[in-house]
Amino acid sequence: MAERTLLIERELDTLYQVSQVLNSTRNLKDKLQGVLDVLHEGSDLRSGILALREQETDALVVCAVHGNEQMSIPNGVRYEPGEGLMGIILDAGHTLVVERIADEPRFLGRLGLYDPDLPFIGSPIRVNEDELVGVLAAQPLDDHLLGERSRFMEMVANLIAQSVGLLRKLEQQQRDLTEERDQLKQSLRKNYGFENIIGHTPAMLKVFERVRQVAKWNTTVLIRGESGTGKEAIANSIHYNSACAGGPFIKLNCAALPDNLLESELFGHEKGAFSGAISQRKGRFELANHGTLFLDEIGEISLSFQAKLLRVLQEGEFERVGGTHTLKVHVRIIAATNKNLEEEVEAGRFREDLYYRLNVMPINTPPLRDRLEDIPELAQFLLGRISKQQGGSILELKESAIRVLMRHHWPGNVRELENCLERAAIMSPNGIIDRDVIALTGLEDQIAPVTANAAPVDFNIEGMDEREQLIAALEQAGWVQAKAARLLNMTPRQIAYRVRILNIKMKHI
């Protein structure tokens, strides 16, 4: 009785020490080794082995051992389910007690660790009642109170199971997060790939070529063009097809903030730097480290702030507002503006040195009115995006609507076109967008009728529809499309597109 009481006291103390080891900040391998060390020193359980099951193969792999002397784990020691005593315990799912190993024919002795004349106890490590994740085995110094010792081994195995289960859960969460991150990256690359910049006109093909070239380099880019021409979409494509695509893509509209807030947004601030700065805050440059910073409306910043920005672009160094510590970052800059920076420099409103620092690789985005031939494809793309945003409703764009869209001047460019199509989608009762639906958006009220220019023509366009007007102009021009284009104040490409979509058979004179 006294022996049993003494054993229980030692086991309780050992359990406490085991729990301390498992709750420590050490990695799992060190924790498992620490558990075997405690069992060896505190409970006279020698020749300890801890093996965990591989989720892919179900085999047991030895992770930690403790012999009479400290020993390293042999490489590649593993047990298949049902193989040896370790495999039998994993396969059966319950504790196995052997009074003398030499009498057990299923014992393999691969590690050369056990005394054949001593007992053996092995307990499964079970998570969530039904998931076996490993085996804990050890050898008592004698065959006294084997029942008590086997229950103690089960308690230790349960403590290990909690630690292993928590780790496995964290590992699964990490795998899920990694998978989600990879899916998001693929989605971003898909959403911002080159194929999402629509257009086949010479002006757009030039833009595509510039974007492909500059994406390979860590060069500063200046995207120029009117509002609504897709400058941000081009910046996205450059970043997500560049070497720094794995880094952050941070955006800031410079026109939206006054100088004091702009400085804090870009460079960050220290706690107490100004009223309301209740904590330290990282700026956009710091957040964009090893990635891309997109500065939209760069032409709107003041001369005083331009000097501060120039230093960061030149040196890659800055201090947070209210701070004294110099921070160094590696950031790729993409800037955009709808202003004529050359005129701004000439007028003294934009620093010449900053202009040259930004204008390393300029990309000019053409206005939509200069690439009307892209409208059919662009409209279909935008409708697809609108449909996806609205839950996948099917939208159909008729040629009669396209012809109206191609006659508009589009001062708001692609953004105006997208807004027009979204209004049309809302107003269409059946998802079909034709000329009548476009008329409901108010677009036709803004379109000037097609008229001839000052060159003399001898046909009356009043009362004609678009096809009749074009045929009349072609006949007047001797079926020369370039001449017909001049008569109708259009470009030859616009004429060629209309000939195709209106199914006009050309005559050769």
382-413: pLDDT as tens digits: 999 898 888 777 789 988 888 889 888 899 99
Where does 194-366 sit in CATH, by number?
3.40.50.300
pLDDT top residue among 221 and 9: 221
All CATH 3.40.50.300 domain ranges in the chain, comma separated: 194-366
pLDDT top residue among 506 and 357: 357
Query: What is the rounded distance in angstroms from the CA atom of residue 66 to the CA atom of residue 121?
Result: 15
Q: Please, how many CA atoms are within 13 Å of residue 358, restricted to the half-sphere of its CB?
A: 28
Q: Are 30 and 73 in contact (CB under 8 A)?
A: no
Q: Report pTM.
A: 0.59
Q: Which CATH number fits domain 369-446: 3.40.640.10, 1.10.8.60, 3.90.230.10, 3.30.930.10?
A: 1.10.8.60
138, 284, 285, 314 from 260: Cα distances, Å: 69, 14, 16, 21
Q: Which among 218, 301, 205 has a CA at the least distance from the CA of 257?
A: 301
Q: Please, how many CA atoms are within 13 Å of residue 195, restricted to the half-sphere of its CB?
A: 5
416-456: pLDDT as tens digits: 999 999 999 999 988 899 888 988 888 866 664 444 443 33
Topology of domain 449-509, CATH:
Arc Repressor Mutant, subunit A (1.10.10)
Is pLDDT at 275 greater than 80 in this prediction?
A: no
All CATH 1.10.8.60 domain ranges in the chain, comma separated: 369-446
Q: Are 474 and 481 in contact (CB under 8 A)?
A: yes
509 burial level (CB within 10 Å; 0-12, 13-18, 19+): exposed
Query: What is the rounded distance in angstroms from the CA atom of residue 499 to the CA atom of residue 509?
Result: 17
pLDDT band for position 74 (cuts 50, 70, 90) = low
All CATH 3.30.450.40 domain ranges in the chain, comma separated: 2-171
Where does 2-171 sit in CATH, by number?
3.30.450.40
236-273: pLDDT as tens digits: 999 988 888 889 999 999 998 888 889 889 998 888 77
All CATH 1.10.10.60 domain ranges in the chain, comma separated: 449-509
Of 412-421, 453-462, 481-490, give the lowest mean pLDDT range.
Answer: 453-462
109, 260, 279, 319, 335 from 282: Cα distances, Å: 59, 15, 10, 11, 21
User: Would you state the pLDDT for residue 226?
Assistant: 94
User: Would you state the pLDDT for residue 464?
Assistant: 63
Mean pLDDT, the chain, whole residue set? 84
User: Would you state the pLDDT for residue 445?
Assistant: 66
